[in-house]
Structure formats: C-alpha cells, structure tokens
Structure 1
Amino acid sequence: MSSTPASIIIVHGAFEHIGRYNHLIKQFEADGYRVLGQNLPGQGDSEGVKGHIRSFDQYIETIEKWLQQIDEGPVFLLGHSMGGLAVIRTMQELKPKVNGVILSSPAMGILNGASKPMEAASKILNYLWPSLKVDTQFNPEYVTKSEAVRIRDQHDQLILKKVSVRWYREFQRGIRQAFSKVDQFPDVPILVMQAGEDLMIDAWKTKEWFHKIDLHEKTYKEWPGLYHELFNEPEWKQVYAFATQFMQQQLSKPMR
C-alpha cells in the first residue's frame, strides 16, 4: 500500500456543479483522501458559454488536465451521471493509470428525453443553430428524496436551466461511443453503483453496458429505493461506505 494519500477526482453530472459535493469532499478529506473537484466546461461557474460545448471531447480533455495535476500516489476517478459517462469515455480514449473507477448512476441512457419530432429537429439544428438553448430536465424532486437538498437546489443559481442543441447532440454521441467502444475500456477495477429508483437515466442501459465490459474485477451495486443522486440521498453515508470499501480493497493490492 502506498504511503502517499490516495487522490480522488470527482466528475460532476449535467446541469450541476462541484459545489453540490462539498459534503462528500469534506468526508473524503476527513478520512485521509485528497480530493480534486472542479467544474466541467460550460457548467457551474466555469469559463465559456453556459450549457454549451463544441464537443464531448472537451470533457475528456478536462479530465486529462485534472489527472495531470496529481503527481504521485494512488488515483481514483469518481463520476456521477453525465460525469460518469465522461469518465468512461476518458478511460476508453486515454487509458490513464488509475487504481480504480467508481460510477454513480452513470448516464448510459436518458429517460424522458426529447420527443421524436424534437430529436429529428435537433439533428438539423445542430448544424444550423448549434448554440440554440433548450430547457433542461433538471428537477430537484427527480434527483433526490432529501428535502434539504431539494430546497437548496431551488435557490442554486449555478444549476443550469438551459443547454444548447449541440450539448444535447454531443451527450448522445458520448453515449453511443461508450457502447461502440466498450471493448476499449482498460482492465481497471470498476464499481458501478446504480440508483434503484432512478427518474433521470435508464438504469437498464447502465446494466447493459456493465455486462459488456470484460474486466478482471467489476462490481455492480444497485441501491433499492434510492433516487438518481446517490451521494445526495438521505442514505448517502451508506453509499459512501461502500465506495470507500472498494477503494481500500484496491489500495491493499498492487496495481495491475
């Protein structure tokens, strides 16, 4: 086991920002981990046009920069929802040397997405007017049962209310590539934790992707009754304990 504290890079989901994970960051740090958490391009208070990206590859490039900021010691990637998808695509494209990957309700399929007419229109608008903004699907009551978090989110000015057509099309492209390049995921231990009552993403698509990856060590954990944001649920400390147990198991053995 390394004497250097393990580092955890937290990659937040769509519409939100890293500040919504302050409680999680504080808990990790209290338990001796180093945490790196920043906002993805176009999200939170990051630079650039809010709710807009040129390409999903911008997320991969951003995570690569975060990885480069860690100069020593074990490293884990923790991605939630769209952040989980970004972690998957980063692993497939860059194959970074990390000790493990943790995914929280990764966005492998979208529930209540655009209607068929809007889906067709978005393909055309992606070329004609890619920066056109549309309303997001973020609803505090859909992501957590915690009343305190719901109230906080209702007054959070950093949560995106609109995203661009290009962002939506690139999100969809990221999902397709995560499946088409499933055999390019490196042989790194992975823990996939899926909310049992997910109202935001298609849990069956998460499970489908999980069964397709061919790894020496992979764990799938479903949390019955929990909503999409596992780390913002009233039971989040149980989820935290499960995640840290996974990390400690990886830290107790040499990295492949």
Structure 2
Amino acid sequence: MWKWEADGQAKAVVAILHGAYENHRWYAWLIEKLRLEGFHIVMGDLPNHGVNARFSRVHDEDFKEYNKYTRHLMENAFSYNLPVFLIGHGLGATLLLHTMHKKKYESAGIILTSPWLQLKLLPGKLSNALTSLSALTANVKITHEITFEKLTRSVEGREEMKDEIPFMSVVSVKWYRELQQMMRNLVLLPKAEFPNMPMLVMTAEKDSITETKQTRNWLHQQEFTEFQFKEWANCYHNLFHEIEREEIFVYIRDFINNALRRIGYIIE
C-alpha cells in the first residue's frame, strides 16, 4: 500500500482501486492531480497485479483475496480521520461496490468509472460454455483480449500504460466464474441494501469492454438521494487515460468539493 500526501492541510482522503490487469503506476497522472488539489491518496496493487504479476502467467487468485485487499485499502484511508472518497475503475469499481454493500463504510462519496457489472468483451471464445462445465475445468486458461487500443484512443495514454510490468490478461475459468458471480449478485441486489451516499458514475460512449446500459440501469434502480451519471462521448474504457481526461478530472474534483461543502467544509 502506498500513500501520497498533499502539501499542507489536506481536505480529504481519496482511495483508488484500479481495474483488472492494471497496476497503480497507471494512475500516476490522477494521483498527482488529486494531490495538488489538496487530497491525500491511498492506493496499492490488487493481489497478483503489479510487481507480483511478474511471477505469474495467469490470474487465478481467489476473489476473497481481492475483498480482503479492498477492506485493507479502505481502512488505511479512514485512518487519517478525514472525509474519505472512493474511486473504483473497471473491476476495481465492482470490488468497491461489493465491499461497500458488505461493510457499509461511512464514505463521503463514491466515484465509479466504467464499472464491470456486465461484460461486452468476454474472455475466450468459449468462455460461456467453459464456465458451465464441472469443477474439473476450473484451471483451464482463457485469454481476455483486452489491448491498449481498446482501453484508450489517446497515444499518450497508451504510452503511460507501458512499463516493465507485463500486461497479463490470461485468466482461469475459476477466476471468471467468480467475476461473473460477483457481477450478477450486484445487479440483482435489492436496492434498499446498498448504503445511501453521494455517487458519481461515469461511463464511456465507445466502451468495447463493458455494457454501459447495464451500468446506467443499475444506478437508476438504486435509491440514492444524491447521484450523478455522465457518459463521455467518443471515449473508450479507461477514462483517466483518454484525450478528455482534464475535463473528466474537473468533473470529479467538483463532485468531491461539492460533497465536502454539504458536510460543512469550507472549500476555497
């Protein structure tokens, strides 16, 4: 777990959960933008992601490890005794929703970008058939054909994703089963069971990885008293690497500052 602290008195803490197959270095731009705005940032790498991914050729980690990591990340953020905002992207958004439903942390606000509630791009041509087979197929490996070109149309954004940590998108059937189960549970969750707190959900119009209509439907079925939805025209899945990311950041910053004002903070 890493922490980047604002210069001087911080307004709040932002905890970030990255997406599948990514690592925290992809978020260097966002981390610095938030820090300069007066926020502490807490972030790490999901299990078997980042440096640890160098020693593995397939994602077959148990989702219980993801959930444990997510709780640990949040507890680190709340240790500052400041308002906490949670940002989750892709799979990170899904894990955030799952943990908030189970633990109901008192967050000042939640920001989701391109959450995985239903996949449009499935791993492996036979993935649906494989996941219906017996447990003997659990270790079968399938490839999730996600490329940098599918994540962003920004050349600069693609360059930021390229580092010495390999981009590994091969998963086991067991991993995919667990992902499907988590997404299904969230979509079918009784709306009254999710904690009511400020929510900003952003999707990309040209996302080829997730079904954005499912995300919109899920949000509108909830009973949030305060929420915003924004679909960014022409954008691909990774909004923080897109051409419009400066405008996207301003949208997030304003959401956070408005939430802080409503709980009594003076924002200059």
TM-score of the aligned structures, taking structure 2 as reference length: 0.87
Q: Secondary structure at the match of 1:221?
A: strand
**In structure 2, C-alpha distance between the alignment counterparts of 1:46 and 1:75, rounded to whole Å:** 28
Equivalence map 1:91-130=2 (5 Å): 91-114=100-123, 117-124=126-133, 127-130=135-138
- Structure 2 contact 149–158 (Cα < 8 Å) conserved: yes
What residue is the counterpart of 1:8 in the other structure? Answer: 14
Q: How many residues align?
A: 251
Q: Secondary structure at the match of 1:123?
A: coil
Cα distance change of structure 1 residues 235 and 206 upon mapping to structure 2, 3 Å threshold: same
TM-score of the aligned structures, taking structure 1 as reference length: 0.91
What residue is the counterpart of 2:5 in the other structure? Answer: none
Cα distance change of structure 1 residues 154 and 132 upon mapping to structure 2, 3 Å threshold: farther
Cα distance change of structure 1 residues 153 and 211 upon mapping to structure 2, 3 Å threshold: same
- Structure 1 contact 182–212 (Cα < 8 Å) conserved: no
Structure 2, unaligned runs of 5 or more = 1-8
What residue is the counterpart of 1:141 in the other structure? Answer: 149
What residue is the counterpart of 1:68 in the other structure? Answer: 75
Q: Secondary structure at the match of 1:209?
A: helix
Q: Deviations over 1:62-82 (max 9, x none)?
A: 111112113110101100011
- Structure 1 contact 182–209 (Cα < 8 Å) conserved: no
Equivalence map 1:41-190=2 (5 Å): 41-46=47-52, 51-54=59-62, 56-70=63-77, 71=79, 72-114=81-123, 117-124=126-133, 127-153=135-161, 156-183=164-191, 184-190=193-199
| CA RMSD of superposed structures (Å) | 2.1
**In structure 2, C-alpha distance between the alignment counterparts of 1:153 and 1:66, rounded to whole Å:** 22
Q: Secondary structure at the match of 1:225?
A: coil
Structure 1, unaligned runs of 5 or more = none
- Structure 2 contact 117–211 (Cα < 8 Å) conserved: yes
**In structure 2, C-alpha distance between the alignment counterparts of 1:210 and 1:113, rounded to whole Å:** 23
Larger mean CA deviation between 198-207 and 148-157 belongs to: 148-157
Q: Greater relative contact order (Cα 8 A, min sep 6): structure 1 or 2?
A: 1
Instruction: Tell me the amino acid that sits aligned with residue 201 of structure 1.
Output: T
**In structure 2, C-alpha distance between the alignment counterparts of 1:226 and 1:212, rounded to whole Å:** 25
